[in-house]
Chain A
Amino acid sequence: MKINASRRSFNQALLSIGATAPMLSHSTWDLNWLGLDNIPLANEYWLSAQGQSQDQYGLGWVDSRGEKLSQVSTQFRGHGFCQNPKQLNHIIMFARRPGTEGIRLNLSSSKIDGAFNSAPDRHMHGHGCFSADGLKLFCAESEISTGKGKITIRDAQSLSLIGEFDSYGIGPHEIAVMPDGNSLVVANGGLLTHPDSGREVLNLNSMRASLAYIDIHSGELISEHVIPEKKASIRHLDVSNDGTVAIALQVQRKAMGHNKLTPLAAIHKQGQEIMLLQAPATLLSKLNDYMGSVKVNNTSRIAAFASPKGNLAMFWHLDDLSLQGYHSFHDVCGLTVSQDNKYFVLSNSTGKIRQINAVTLKLDKERSLSFPHTRWDNHMISVLSSNTK
């Protein structure tokens, strides 16, 4: 069961604090849920791809006090992250699509201790996740020759490819393990691209986005869900601890043939259809058809969404679906939750980090950080560690 696994893992983490360097990803566990809400900030790190040019690209991380900013050079532009739930010091960063590389950072040594590439005729989409037992790494990829979405499976230790199954769509982007540990949820963006034509979308007229639930063991499709607006690409997601999936959308406006606004955030609860999250037209308009990341706070039950093209983060309640607030922040896209669950942590491409109280949704200015020469990229992950170099 997830609960037992989580408790065991967290106990391991506690035992290790001050010894090696276990880190706890917020995407995996909820500290408040475990009854522990006073984790020292000194142990908390936020990681993100960063850099603005080939010679600058790297994986950067900073402690939550902003005292130490570190980076490993990668030579490629990274995108999403995941943490091994059983080897907490293992953090994977995936190349931004249509890249073919992934790296594993060992935070205890601050070094990259593993790397992998897509197989021939495959490229990545920038996201992946570990199985609940930490033995397998799932990556969102595409078969180049056919354009079919694939979920590739790698051995979590060796990072070697051990299998794959269909994503049941085109352009799988963010994926996550559901709380039951037995299924994956996949955001099939529906956009066909080919490395030869870079990031150009080749199927705007026929694009079909879907949210697919897949049996993690057999690779069989469990269920598939679509949204009414066919030109809205389902790209990013996060899963709450009750299995509610928060979804961020990107609209392919030039394929729509009209100028009507469409929601860019949605919620899916098991057994129901996808529910679009409403907002005032002025806010929706400001987003420029683009929501770039989403993160759930399990304590406040609020999902945060970030739009760098709108310079805006927006917050909706997972249960009553009401818009709770918004926050203007230039080029905001990185989004995570602090380990004590008290803050949404927002990053932007000019190196700034802001913390928004997860309940009041007010900015805590005292916690704002700025690293003027850092370019925080699309996604940020929060991890806990007691000992990093």
Chain B
Amino acid sequence: MFKFIASILAFSSVIFLSACGGSSSSLSTGNNELNLAAKEIIDNTIIPASNRFQQQVSTLVSNSSRFCSTNNQTAENLTAIQNQWLDTNLAWFELLPYLFGPMVNSEVLPTYIFIDYHRQRGDDDTAVIRSNIDSLIVTATDEDYDLALSRLGANSLGLLALEIAVFEDAANQSSIAADILIEFQNTPRKCQLLIDMGNKLLVRANEVQQGWTVNYRNTGESYRDLVINNQLETFLDDDSGESAIKKITISVQEFYDYLGKRNVTNNVAQLSNSIWAALDKSLSSTEELLVGTDATELSLNRIMSNNRFDQAVTLLNENMATLRAALVEKNSIDMVAAAKALDGNFKREIPDALNINLGLNFSDGD
């Protein structure tokens, strides 16, 4: 039992404490409640989002293969691919707030950067990708093509590369469907590239989904089980060591930090003109995180209310409503402001209301 064995005395007094166990909090939330809430978020929100993203990528790949097969390069099929890319990207933004565990896998080569390079530091690599596509689709031999494809880095792959491939033609960056279609019809390498880049994305989507549900980093255990059962540090030497609820809270906070800090509405999903719908998916996912689903027994909002932090719940609802209004109005300035407010909520109000400690404030200059 962790408790003081001597009370804090005056200046220069000393206290002795033992390691581990217990809680000094006056709030009612216990680890069991938080663990249950985290388990339900993982089971009802994160894993379903991971499954949906994998399924959408898989469908994108199969649609691409069908489109590229003989006599199938029609306007209708191009539209189907474009729509499938939109659905895939929406599914990604539903999952994107949960950037930990199987979304990362490796600190040096995190899985997510092969899906969404912009998420890392807000870099817009549209020009790089265009240049690479230009080069790849004119390669003379299969060997040259394979070599060039193998050399594509994370910033040249993922959803943005596929968006550029299906929403514009490489020759003139035309977004007219007829131009795009003609290029696919006349340039077999572009179809080959579409399929290959889709398959590379599918590998990453599989990694995420399989990591959550089957086998995380060759442990033979799903990340779900490892994180819920607090076994990550047992199985892995390099887990950062937070509980499931902390990982979730920090990850969503970092997502809103990303929205507030990076120029998302002007850099992401531009050719498809779908960034606002994508951000709406992230917001809906956040609402679900807090409110729960029909299958939820204990939501975070309920825990916060039980802890008499109704004001925090109200504040969150207000800030999410503000964000939704900004998304509806497609107002970047208001979107950034609302995202920053939510970033702060996930840093302060939510941890306080849940009685979880996310760490110290190591600010510049320390």
Which residues of A are in contact with B by a Cβ distance under 8 Å? 52, 66, 68-73, 75, 79, 96-97, 110-113, 126, 171, 173, 189, 191, 193, 199, 201, 233, 235, 250, 252, 259, 261, 280, 282-283, 285-286, 290, 292, 308-309, 311-312, 326-331, 333, 348-350, 352, 362-363, 365, 368-375, 377-378, 389
Contacts and interface: CB of A to CB of B under 8 A. Distances in A.
B120 A285 contact: yes
Contact of B14 (A72, A189, A259, A286): A72
B188 interface: no
A262 B75 CA distance: 47
Given A283-B108, A286-B107, A350-B357, A373 B364 contact: no
A373 B359 contact: no
A69 B19 contact: yes
B365 interface: yes
A372 B121 contact: no
Given A73-B13, A259-B123, A372 B2 contact: yes
A308 B121 CA distance: 18
B17 A374 contact: yes
A282 B121 CA distance: 9
A282 B238 CA distance: 16
Contact of B121 (A97, A112, A285, A349): A285
28 contacts: A68-B16, A69-B18, A70-B15, A70-B16, A73-B10, A97-B365, A97-B366, A111-B13, A171-B365, A173-B365, A193-B365, A201-B365, A282-B109, A286-B107, A328-B239, A329-B241, A330-B242, A331-B362, A348-B241, A349-B362, A350-B241, A363-B238, A365-B233, A365-B234, A370-B19, A370-B20, A372-B2, A373-B22
A229 to B, nearest CB: 15
A252 B364 CA distance: 8
Contacts of B113: 282
Contacts of B109: 282
A282 B110 contact: yes
B161 to A, nearest CB: 18
A369 B12 contact: no
Given A259-B122, A362-B237, A372 B21 contact: yes
B8 interface: yes
A282 B342 CA distance: 26
**10 smallest beta-carbon distances between A and B, as pairs:** A331-B359, A112-B12, A349-B360, A349-B359, A330-B240, A110-B14, A69-B17, A308-B362, A363-B237, A328-B240
Given A69-B17, A259-B122, A282-B108, A250 B359 contact: no
A363 B18 CA distance: 23
B363 interface: yes
B359 A199 contact: no
Contacts of A283: 107-108
Given A70-B17, A110-B14, 11 more contacts: A52-B357, A66-B19, A71-B8, A71-B14, A111-B13, A282-B107, A282-B110, A329-B240, A331-B358, A333-B360, A371-B2
Interface string B338-366: 00000000000000000001111011111
Nearest to A55: B8
Interface in B170-229: none
A282 B120 contact: yes
A233 B246 CA distance: 31
Interface in B1-44: 2, 8-24
Contacts of B2: 371-373
A275 to B, nearest CB: 22
B33 to A, nearest CB: 17
- The B interface is mostly helix, strand or loop, or mixed, namely loop
Chain A CB count within 10 A is highest, among B11, B107, B242, B365, for B365
A178 to B, nearest CB: 24
A378 B17 CA distance: 21
A347 to B, nearest CB: 11
Given A97-B365, A201-B364, A349-B360, A373 B17 contact: yes
Chain B CB count within 10 A is highest, among A96, A290, A312, A350, for A350
Contact of A309 (B9, B120, B362): B362
Nearest to A173: B365
B360 A308 contact: yes
Nearest to B17: A69
Chain B CB count within 10 A is highest, among A66, A97, A370, for A370
B366 A79 contact: yes
A189 B240 contact: no
A377 B15 CA distance: 18
Contacts of A71: 8, 14-15, 17
Interface in B314-331: none
Contacts of A111: 12-14
B121 A259 contact: yes
Contact of B241 (A233, A352, A374): A352
B362 A330 contact: no
A292 B360 CA distance: 13
Contacts of B23: 372
Given A282-B108, A286-B107, A290-B362, A69 B237 contact: no
Contacts of B241: 329-330, 348, 350, 352
B363 to A, nearest CB: 6
Contacts of A233: 364-365
A23 to B, nearest CB: 15
Contacts of B239: 328
Given A309-B362, A363-B238, A371 B20 contact: yes
Given A250-B364, A349-B360, A363-B237, A280 B12 contact: no
A132 to B, nearest CB: 28
Nearest to A293: B366
A166 to B, nearest CB: 20
